A and B are shown apart, each in its own frame.
Chain A
Amino acid sequence: MTKSSFSNIQSEYLALIDHNKCVRCKRCIQNCGWGTYSFGGDKILADHSKCVACGRCYTYCPEGAISIVKNPTVLRENANWKEGLIKNIWRQSETGGIVISGMGTTFKYKKYFDHILLDACQVTNPSIDPLREPMELRTYLGKKPSRLDVGLDENGESVLKSKMPPQIELQTPFIFGAMSYGSISLNAQKAMALAARALGIVMNTGEGGLHDDLVPFGKNIIVQVASGRFGVHRDYLNSGVAVEIKIGQGAKPGIGGHLPGEKIGADISRTRMIPVGTDAISPAPHHDIYSIEDLRQLIYAVKEATDYEKPVSVKVAAVHNIAAIVSGIVRAGADIVYIDGYTGGTGAAPNIIKDHVGIPIELALAQVDERLRDEGIRNEASIIAAGSIRSSADAVKAIALGADAVAIGTAALVVMGCHVCGKCNTGNCSWGITTQRPELVRRLDPEVYGERLYNLISAWSHEIQEVLGAMGVNSIESLRGSRERLRGVELTDAELKALGIKHAGL
Chain B
Amino acid sequence: MITIDAAGMHYKELNRLIREGIGKGIKKFFLENINGQYYIGDGIKGDDVVININGTPGNDIGAFMDGPTLIVNNNAQDNIGNTMNAGKIIIKGDAGDVVGYGMRGGRIYILGNAGYRVGIHMKGYNEQLPIIIIGGKVGSFFAEYMAGGIIVLLGLDDSDEFDGDYFASGMHGGTIYLRKKIDFSKYSKDVELYEADENDMNFLKKYLIEYADSFNIPSEEISGKPFYKIMPSSARPYAHLYTSA
Contact = CB atoms under 8 A, between A and B. Distances in A.
Given A97-B243, A278-B235, A281-B238, A288 B145 contact: no
Contacts of A273: 104, 123-125, 128, 147-148
B125 to A, nearest CB: 4
A167 B173 CA distance: 40
A237 interface: yes
B235 A277 contact: yes
Main secondary structure of the interface of B (DSSP, over half): loop
B108 to A, nearest CB: 15
Contact of A234 (B45, B236, B238): B45
Interface stretch (B36-44, B181-189, B197-205, B218-226): B36-44
B66 to A, nearest CB: 4
Interface string A402-434: 000000000000000000001101100000000
A279 B78 CA distance: 28
B123 A97 contact: no
Interface string B118-149: 00110111001000000000000000110110
A235 B240 contact: no
B240 A96 contact: yes
Interface in A92-131: 92, 94-101
B140 to A, nearest CB: 12
Contact of A426 (B42, B123, B124, B244): B244
Nearest to A95: B243
Interface residues of B, number: 50
25 contacts: A96-B240, A97-B241, A97-B243, A98-B242, A99-B243, A100-B243, A233-B66, A233-B104, A237-B64, A260-B242, A261-B239, A273-B148, A281-B238, A283-B144, A287-B98, A287-B120, A288-B60, A288-B79, A297-B59, A301-B42, A301-B64, A304-B11, A307-B19, A350-B242, A422-B245
B70 interface: no
A446 interface: no
A97 B120 contact: no
A300 B39 contact: yes
Contact of A301 (B63, B173, B236, B243): B63
A299 B45 CA distance: 20
A179 B172 CA distance: 24
Interface-central residue, A88, A99, A260, A279, by most chain B CB under 10 Å: A279
A386 B244 CA distance: 25
Interface residues of A, number: 51
Contact of A100 (B12, B19, B244): B244
Interface-central residue, B66, B78, B172, by most chain A CB under 10 Å: B172
Interface string A267-284: 001101111111101010
B83 interface: yes
Contacts, number: 147
Contact of A91 (B98, B120, B245): B245
Interface in A247-296: 258, 260-261, 269-270, 272-279, 281, 283, 287-288
Contacts of B173: 274-275, 278
Interface string A183-210: 0000000000000000000000000000
Given A95-B243, A305-B63, A232 B102 contact: yes
Interface-central residue, A95, A98, A269, A283, by most chain B CB under 10 Å: A283
A229 interface: yes
Given A228-B121, A273-B147, 5 more contacts: A237-B64, A270-B125, A288-B78, A301-B63, A350-B242
A281 B170 contact: yes
Contacts of B244: 99-101, 423, 425-426
A299 to B, nearest CB: 11
B212 to A, nearest CB: 29
Contacts of B104: 232-233, 273
A301 B39 contact: yes
A351 interface: yes
B85 interface: yes
B117 interface: yes
A101 B245 CA distance: 6
B82 interface: yes
